[in-house]
Chain A
Amino acid sequence: MSPLVLFHLAALLLLALGLYGLTSRRSLVGMLISVELMLNGAGLALVASARLTPASDELGQLGTLLVMGLAAAEATLVLAMVLVTAKRWGTSDSDRLSMLKG
């Protein structure tokens, strides 16, 4: 197999692990960890494509850098939301958070 295919398969592995974790985890923090796994897979695929195909190298690497920045912003917001959830309902278990109320 060519290097590009190998790197893309590694990225797919991260996607599969992340999706599995996102659907099987109960706690919100565990789900956040799975989302980070998937974002990493996306970055890996982007950089591999930029480095090993005629696509623009700069575009791929800077795109991945922006994905990392967005992941940091997302983690900050999710941290605050999980804290508010845990404070209000005393749990961060997604199965128990079933009430919709303003």
Chain B
Amino acid sequence: MEQLAYAAYGFYLVLILAGGWAAVRCRNLVRALLGLIMTLFGVAGMYFLMAAPFMALMQILIYVGAVSVLIFFAIMLTRAPGGAAGEEDREPRSALRTVLALLSGVLPAAILAGVILTRHPQELPLKPELPLGRLGEFLTGPYVLAFELISVVLLAAMAGAVVLGFERRKGA
């Protein structure tokens, strides 16, 4: 059974790796978005693996269902005049830029990986699955302020997006 869990972990890791690589490397933004969606499904699988099915379903609902559709709108609405939608510039990327970007990505992760591998927190076996009702009680009990605040933040973000969308150039 444990071997099966490790196999599932490896499968989801491959999904995350392949999708993430496509998301950051593909010149075509639609393909990059598909890579992002693949990664999101991989992370959802990992949530299932650690017996948090509510988080996995929320991940699919919010990220795959809402955020990626928003990004798709952004890709389709920002096409350059004359260019195809979602194509980044054809100019070759300079090697120095790629190397520096790799360094900026790998260096912080390597430092954190060193910390993770050397310092072991007290680790428990997987806890029993949290019932959904318990999460609901927490959300409407001790964390009710955060719950209300996030809805205000969402409302403000939506209102801000609408205001920005209706913006007219001065003098135009």
Assess the A20–B101 pair: CB atoms within 8 A.
yes
Assess the A83–B78 pair: CB atoms within 8 A.
yes
Assess the A62–B164 pair: CB atoms within 8 A.
no
Assess the A20–B104 pair: CB atoms within 8 A.
yes
Assess the A48–B50 pair: CB atoms within 8 A.
yes
Assess the A33–B97 pair: CB atoms within 8 A.
no
Within 8 A of B (CB), among A15-32: 15-21, 23-30, 32
Interface of A is mostly: helix
Assess the B47–A83 pair: CB atoms within 8 A.
no
A64 to B59, CA, bound (A): 10
Assess the B63–A40 pair: CB atoms within 8 A.
yes
A78 to B158, CA, bound (A): 11
Assess the B123–A72 pair: CB atoms within 8 A.
no
Q: Give min CB distance, B108 to chain A, whole Å.
A: 7
- The answer to whether residues A66 and B150 also contact, given A51-B126, A58-B135 and a CB cut-off of 8 A, is yes
For A81, the chain B residues whose CB sits under 8 A away are: 164
For A43, the chain B residues whose CB sits under 8 A away are: 43, 55, 59
- The answer to whether residues A19 and B105 also contact, given A29-B74, A66-B146, A80-B164 and a CB cut-off of 8 A, is yes
Taking Cβ atoms with an 8 Å cutoff, the residues of B that contact A are: 9, 12-13, 16-17, 20-21, 23-24, 29, 32-33, 36, 39-40, 43, 46-47, 50-52, 54-55, 58-59, 62-63, 66-67, 70-71, 73-75, 77-78, 80-81, 86, 88-89, 93, 97-98, 100-102, 104-106, 108-109, 112-113, 116-117, 120-124, 126-127, 130, 134-135, 138-139, 143, 146, 150, 153-154, 156-158, 160-162, 164-165, 167, 169
25 residue pairs of the A-B complex, CB under 8 angstroms, read A4-B121, A7-B50, A9-B116, A15-B105, A20-B101, A20-B104, A20-B105, A25-B24, A27-B88, A29-B74, A33-B24, A36-B63, A37-B24, A47-B50, A48-B50, A52-B124, A58-B134, A66-B146, A72-B154, A73-B154, A76-B158, A77-B164, A78-B74, A84-B165, A90-B80
